[in-house]
Amino acid sequence: MSSFGTVLLTGAAGKIGLRLREFLRPLIRLRSTDILALDPPRDGEETVRCDLSDPLAARSVVAGVDAIVHMAGIPREAPIEQIASANLIATYNVFAAAHAAGVKRVVFGSTNHVVGFYPVEQSVDASALPRPDTLYGASKVFGEAVARLFWDKHGIESVCIRIGSALDKPTNVRQLSTWVSYRDLGELVWRSLVAPRVGATIAYGVSAGSRCWWNNSAAGHLGFIPKDNADRFAAEMTEALASEEARGPAVVFQGGPWAADGYDAA
């Protein structure tokens, strides 16, 4: 998209949403929404409290925006009833509202957990079949499928960002492979908004690093180049790296403890 007026950010009271508000406010006019109470708006921002599982509320909050950054949802494993409302129905409602309002681009906050059951030895790119490690991961597979549907059927472009471990810095060995700095994630979201002709793109939200499991070559047209690198934190984990050995699903699979939780396939 070459230009736009207002961008809707959903999930704006969440951990990632709060950081994206800070990153995006200087760049665009922002409409920030969440089911939870929001901090007062800053210059160039409006805030709206909204339950996106209500289709009429979703249509109302989407009206008048030019693009959507959809980060709302439950970001962890939860009972299926909660996942269905927040991650399935709400995501569908956002895309349906975008279609009704003539919005032509949605940036969707997916997760690395859509491929969490791939082994850590395997490099995974955007063409890999989903292997979710949780109901949460499966709900994001649904979101990616909805994004593809609305591109193929209605011409709504999307970038589905499979977000890694969004933190100030890696705190364990797994995160040396999955870490994304908030600066890099903000830049990837911005590139996803402004890049021309994205179609239905899948990108991995991950900073640089020699241990990274994910190949982002299929998203090269976004022009995203990470500024941060997980390798600079490896020295802080020397003992953990030296003692790491294959000892179950938490180490064998890319989803780590998410894949290990409740695992009894062996």
Please give the Cα distance from 7 to 70 (Å, whole number): 10
Please give the Cα distance from 33 to 249 (Å, whole number): 37
Please give the Cα distance from 131 to 134 (Å, whole number): 9
In this structure, the number of other CB atoms found within 10 A of the CB of residue 55 comes to 16
Q: Active site includes 136?
A: yes
Nearest to 210 by CA among 191, 233, 189, 187: 233
User: Which residue among 92, 136, 182, 204 is the active-site one?
Assistant: 136
Q: Helix 90-101 vs helix 135-154: angle between axes, to the nearest 10 degrees?
A: 20
In this structure, the number of other CB atoms found within 10 A of the CB of residue 10 comes to 30
Please give the Cα distance from 93 to 87 (Å, whole number): 10
| In contact, 11 and 69? CB cutoff 8 Å | no
Report, as residue numbers or ranges, the catalytic residues.
Answer: 136
